[in-house]
Amino acid sequence: MRWCPNSVLHLLRSVRLRSCTRRGRTRSLYFNSLTDSDVVFDSIFEPVFWTVDYVTRWFGVVFVCLVVILTSSILVIAYVVLLPLILSTYSPAWIAWHVCYGHWNLIMIAFHYYKAAKTSPGYSPTEKNDTPFVSVCKKCIIPKPARTHHCGICNRCILKMDHHCPWLNNCVGHLNHRYFFSFCLFMTLGCVYCSISGRNLFLEAYNALERYKHLDVEKPGVPVTGMGLLIGILPPGQTPAPPYTFKDKMIHKSIIYMWVLTSTVGVALGALTIWHAVLISRGETSIERHINSKETKRMAKWGKEYKNPFNYGKLNNWKVFFGVEKKSHWVTRVLLPSGHAPHGDGLKWDVFPVKKDLIPV
């Protein structure tokens, strides 16, 4: 991204050009067909865009650390506090269910988050090639294939760009879109699992803390020692020490913390996951959703109907997205960790309705 003084200089040259044109003078070399209202708007607000991109790029590391710390804190509570309770109170069948499901969910979350953060989203080629393109990027000054968009934070053109995710400190594009969605899905399932299974423990912990507060408000008695402790005699007006410890308080607070955090994240991330599931069913990305919406309104004015050229049908969109080429892949590539490459190279796309069923499973 160019530093803002260049944009301001370009804006001033544009204004000067237009004033000169009105006076009948010859146009300078600074003028081109791309100098329009959008260019002027981008030039004025580019300092703001640059600041937002810079802050987002820097805070990406903080967000990744925050995800790791919060997830690790839930794991510590699950192993230190909840697992002993499960082993001592649940039946063998329920113990097997919680242990198997919990560890499978944990593996899926860790695998897909790591792959989403570390996998390159896919970049537009910078060298000359025979790949068909639809436009030229104004920032990179290189050809852009279909579904490719420029990311101001990464400062590169991303293949099939969906958005830049600060929680991954990475763009979500053609090569890691599946990892991102799978992480959101399994993290939501894990949060819902913790929220539902820990509801009774949360209520018990909350009620216990309320009782502790009432005991703290009451005037504590003098501890009984010596012979009085042996014979159980208390002096008049004195009460025994409260029947709880610091460890009890921390256990109950940990359970409340886990339930509140998982419930909140489950609701917020669940809504995001549902939204991306809808987009995948339509064969769209987040950016394409806005573009297609504008195109639909534009063509409606002409009495025409716009059809997304990359929509192959709901089921087939999911097959293409997950890379399902045979029935067993629903298990090995969707329900189990898999590092297989996505369908296609991200440079060329089959267009509807030339080939409706790309993967006949």
Catalytically annotated residues: 165
Which residues touch 20 (CB under 8 Å, ≥6 apart)? 26, 27, 28
Q: Give the DSSP letter of residue 331.
A: I
Which residues touch 107 (CB under 8 Å, ≥6 apart)? 337
- CA proximity to 280, closest of 318, 313, 308, 309: 318
CA distance between the termini of the chain: 44
CB distance 134 to 145 below 8 Å: yes
Name the maximum alpha-carbon separation found in the chain.
112
135 - beta bridge partners?
144
- CA proximity to 14, closest of 30, 38, 26, 2: 30
CA dist 223 and 186 (Å) reads 51
Which residues touch 148 (CB under 8 Å, ≥6 apart)? 124, 157, 158, 159, 160, 161, 346
